[in-house]
Every structure is written in structure tokens, then in C-alpha cells.
A and B are shown apart, each in its own frame.
Chain A
């Protein structure tokens, strides 16, 4: 009753604000009456689009005593042929209702029965989610259609939170229309962002690393000189239980191995004017870098060692990034600090390549940050 009243009264109060007080009283009375009627039925409790409980009016329970809630009441999956077992959950008594919260939310598409003294006193059907709200694949990174043969990862971004733990059933890489098999590393748990909207898939590093047994026995996952298609099946369900709206495909061509660390000294900058809020652009010497890391490893620091607030925008197939400041630029010297963990598409970071051949490549002295400097000149008007 507490739950239901609070929701309905909020709705009615909004109506009253646009009408008048008398009407409010009338509507409230009607509302109370409706509530009393609806409280005769067993109903669902919803939180964030999830059915998190069932509300049972005490009036439905004959000879009811609070002490016997857990002994006499049960919620089971409704099955026509068999009686399921009682579902794990917690019972709460609140005024003239009993609330049951299952250990996990009720499943959309299933029907549940409430039993009192082994007799069903009500059925609740949890509706399927609205198909119009089905998820789509918003983007796949790297976005360019040419990748090195030691490509380490794909990022897949969805419009809604997806079910985790089943990506390899739905994501495939095809060569000449046939599945390449075992291209991706099977990880448990999978690598999702906290919202379950972005998945990182690694191409099997054991096959990419030179001279390891998987590399020698199975070869590299994707081979130089070939065309492949990444396919994401519409059969993948989101957390609401809805299929993706449609299949997603992305074709790409594979070029030679990249075994070199990105060199910040080759990057170029396009510096904006003083007092503008134009972006400051950094170009990575025509090399695409790792989308996921680009989002978080750079910062602009002013002469007072203060980090500027603003937005980073990854652009031009991850070959360029822009920084748009919140406040207009002022004249002076700035430093761009880049964390050394930044990788290219092949897992080579600023400090070390993905796998270093100790016979031919000298190890760099590792650094935490790499720095680039730029200066914003005073505009002519300001200098006068």
C-alpha cells in the first residue's frame, strides 16, 4: 500500500496543480477508491523497468497472521503441467499488504503464481519488453576498414545494456563467407564497461604472439592480404530480453604486422587562437590508435599546472583527437600529458611493443607520461 499510494498520489497531485483544489479532492477520492479496488488483486512492483516484487493485499488471505508469512505464502513459476518450487526471496509486511521481493527480478515473459496455504490466490504475468526499444550496434572500433594482422582488439558499442557472458556465440569473423573459428579469446568474465554497453573483444593473444605454440600451430587470427567480415548476430539479447534490432556487419582488409610503438615525436598539433573555444587537434601521424584508451589518457595542463576542463573527441578513424575546452583559450604555454599506456591497434604502447624481440629491438626506458608542448599566442588585438 505504501508503494502504490506514493506513485498514484504523485500523478494526481500534478493534475491538481493545473486544475483546482475541489477537483483535486474529488480526483483524490476517486484515486483512493481505485487503489482500494486494485489492492484486491496481486500486482507487480517495478523498479527501473525490472519487476522486483509482488504485492499481495492482506485482504486476500483468510485467517492470516504475520508470524506465518514465510510458512504459508509462496511464489512459484506458473506451469500448467507441474507445480514449481517456491522461489527464493524476502517477505515484508507493510500495513495491509505483503510484499515479496525475489532474490533476482522476475523474468519477462514468465507467469508466476502466489500460493497461500498451498492454494493459488493470484497469477501475475510479467510482460515482455517493448520491441521498439531493442538495442542496436552503435559503433565498432577500430572504425577504419584496414587493420594490421596483429590487431589486438575490437570494441563494440551498443545503445542499451546487453547480456554478458555470451558474446562469442553472437560475434564471428568470416573469411570468404566461412567462420574463421577461435579468432577471439574466450574470457570469463568478459570485458564490459560498467553499464554493459561496450564490450572489448581480444583477438587471441596466444596466436598473435610470435613463437608461442598457439601462434605456431594455428597461425595468426587474421592474415595479411585477406578480406574479412565481422558479424554481430541479431540473436543477441539485451538485459531486457530483447533481440538486437538487426544483424550488424563490418568488412575489413588486413595489412602487415605492426611491431612498433607509437612515437609521440611524430604527432602534429593544430593550435587554436586565443579567446576562442575552438578545438586543439592532435594528429597521430596517420596512425589509428586504440579508441578505448584515447578516451582517457590525455590531459591538457596550463602554466599553473592546472588540468584544463573540457571534452576529448576521438576523430578521423582514431587518427586524430580534439580537445574542446570548457572556457576560452588564454595565451600561454600548455603541456599535453599522454599516459604511456596508450596503445596502437596492435597493443604496442608508448613504452614497449606488444612482444619485444630482444635480439633486434632495444628496450626503451619506461616512462609514466609522454609530453607535448604547445603555445597559444596573444591575438593581435589583445597585444595592442
Chain B
């Protein structure tokens, strides 16, 4: 009987702890109201409850900002803003050649689209799509917390000419299961680094892993390379980081192996062609099938079926076939070219920023191409 009570009490404690752990207010532990000193905005990503993560490459810092945009909606609405770059330039009081769209992120709760924009003088700002127009997202007197990337040299570290050495660039950022994952590219050393930060941010050491990849052809060369973009997904019941590199391969890493100081070998599942850079990776669904969708600098948008990736569960070090380039995980080129930003509006709709053949830059949602 005692044993039964014990089991019940443990179960009850676990439920209480889980409930407490998931309480929205706890997500804002460490938040304070103020104006974050954001030096640049390279990446945007959303966590739960309308918390927007801002990746600041120049400041080597991740900011978590409470947007208060936490009203859940049942379904996303179709979105279309033609000539979004011209609209943004006009609303900011400048010309289109002076602004750059750095990233687009969808708040998964409200389905609102956020756009990071940088002016030619380096001033960065965030706008939110509101129907057919855009509104500024205030970053003054907001509730926020921040965490500095621990790999960055000290703030006062200077080179011989007095320039700051803190120059790691944030190539991508995602929130996944209580952690903010950040891939970084150093402007000096050629290395692979992925940092995992517990959220809410704590002063505990961050987990930083170096990720080594195995060259696809011949299983002969091992190498490091910086990650250009990544996402996380469950494949055959296991959580994976799916990363695309500056040297083009698509590589899988089991998330449970990404621990501080670890050096992990990934498994290359595909090479996506030459002269091309992957820009964004998202996960989508169609007809009950899970899909990986990639936007590319010099290729159409690619679609890869997760079941095909699952079928590629060979041993890490096994030599892949000579003609791997064509035998690797199959991918389909969607009839969508020149997509410079891509995010998931919901499971079946994507939001894209696309340079049209007439030169226009449009933002729109799409549920037909998959």
C-alpha cells in the first residue's frame, strides 16, 4: 500500500513539476523592462508565448523579447505584400537600395510575420506584417532578457588598431524544447560551432559543440565547416539537428549528442549541388507526410521527404557509393525560384520572400507548391 502511495505521490509530483515547468510566467524568468542595446539583427526566431529571439551578431548576444503577441489563432490567414522592399523603404523614409531584409520569422502562436530590416548605416529594426501593411515592433521599454554567446572574446578585447575582436556571426538560430540553438561563423577561423543555451537564460555555462562532417564522396575526407542554416526534427522517433553547410552537404546530428565540449561526427545525407548556398530550412507536412523544405541562393526551393532521410540510416563511417551525388537522399525541386527568405506559417503553409522575374520583391504565403 505504502508503495502505491509512493508511486502515486511521485507521479503527482512529476505532474506538478511538469505543470510548473511549462507555466508561461516561468519562461520570463530573468526578464526586465528596458531598452536592449541591440547592435545588429542577423536572425529572428520565435519561442513559446510570443517570445521573439533576436540574434545580434555584432553584439554576440541573443535577446529574448516579450512581444506580448501571444493571442493564439486557430488558422493562419493568407498573406501577400507586393514590393515589400519598396514599402519598407518608404515607411522608413529611405530608398529601396538602402535597406536589406535580414530575416523573416512567424510567431507560431499568433501566426504574425516579423521582418528584420537593416539600413545601410547599420541601424537594425523589426517590423510586423499587419494585414497588407507593416507596423514597427517597438524595442524600447520592452520586457526582455539576454545572453552573450560564451565563445565571444571579452567585450574589451581589441586588436592592434583598437577594433573589437568580437566578430562571430550568427548564421542561424532556432528555439527547440527549452533551448536556443545558435550556429556561428567566425570571421577568422574556419570552424564549426553550435551553441545550445537553456531558456530562460541562466548564468550556467552554455553547451558548445564542434560538429565534424564526413565528406560524402568516397568516405575519405573528414572536415569541419560552418553551418549556414539548420532546423530540428524528429526522424524515426529521435530528435535530430538537420544542418546545411557552407560547402553544401545536408548533415544529420542526433540532438542528444550535442553537449558541451563534445566533438561530434555528423552523417551526410545529401549534397545539394554546386555554386549554391542553402538559405533557410523548415519542416512542413503534406498528406500526412513530413517534409523538409530548403530555400537556396542559386537553386529552386528543394523538398525532401523525411521517410527518404529515415531510409538513410547507414553507419556513420561506412563508405558511401561512388555515385552518391545522384544516389543520395532524393529531393524534388519545387517550381519556386529566387526565394531569399522562407518560414513556416503553419504545417501546410509557407511564407516566402521571393524576387520575381520582373525584379519585384514580394512577400506571400503559399500552400500550393508542396
Contact = CB atoms under 8 A, between A and B. Distances in A.
Interface of A: 50, 75-77, 84-85, 87-90, 102-107, 110, 112, 152-153, 161, 163-165, 182, 185-198, 200, 202, 204-207, 209-214, 216-218, 237, 239-241, 290, 292-293, 295-296, 311-314, 341, 343, 347, 349, 352, 354-359
Contacts of B170: 189
Contacts of A192: 167, 187
Contact of B246 (A165, A182, A187, A190): A187
A104 B90 CA distance: 12
B93 A211 contact: no
B100 A165 contact: yes
Given A189-B42, A194-B164, A295-B160, A200 B187 contact: yes
Which residue, A161, A191, A216, has most C-beta atoms of chain B within 10 A? Answer: A191
Given A204-B247, A214-B247, 10 more contacts: A50-B121, A106-B93, A191-B169, A193-B164, A193-B167, A211-B217, A212-B217, A214-B248, A214-B273, A352-B224
A355 B223 contact: yes
A87 B88 CA distance: 10
Interface in B153-177: 153, 157, 159-160, 163-167, 169-171
Contacts of A354: 190, 223
Contacts of A164: 118, 122
A211 B216 CA distance: 8
B122 A211 contact: no
Given A293-B189, A359-B220, A188 B163 contact: no
B166 A313 contact: no
Given A50-B121, A107-B95, A296 B189 contact: no
Contact of A194 (B90, B91, B166, B274): B166
Contact of A205 (B125, B186, B222, B225): B225
B120 A241 contact: yes
Contacts of A198: 163, 187
Contacts, number: 192
Given A186-B277, A193-B164, A104 B94 contact: yes
A212 B273 CA distance: 9
B271 interface: yes
B221 interface: yes
Interface of B: 39-40, 42, 57-58, 90-95, 98, 100, 102, 118-123, 125, 136, 140, 153, 157, 159-160, 163-167, 169-171, 185-191, 215-218, 220-225, 228, 246-249, 271, 273-275, 277, 279, 297, 325
B125 A217 contact: no
Nearest to B153: A296
A104 B216 CA distance: 46
B36 to A, nearest CB: 15
A105 B121 contact: yes
A87 B92 contact: yes
A182 B122 contact: no
Contacts of A200: 187-188
B122 A87 contact: no
A207 B185 contact: no
Which 4 residue pairs across A and B have the least CB separation, nearest first? A214-B274, A87-B93, A206-B247, A191-B187
A213 B225 contact: no
Contact of B223 (A195, A296, A343, A356): A356
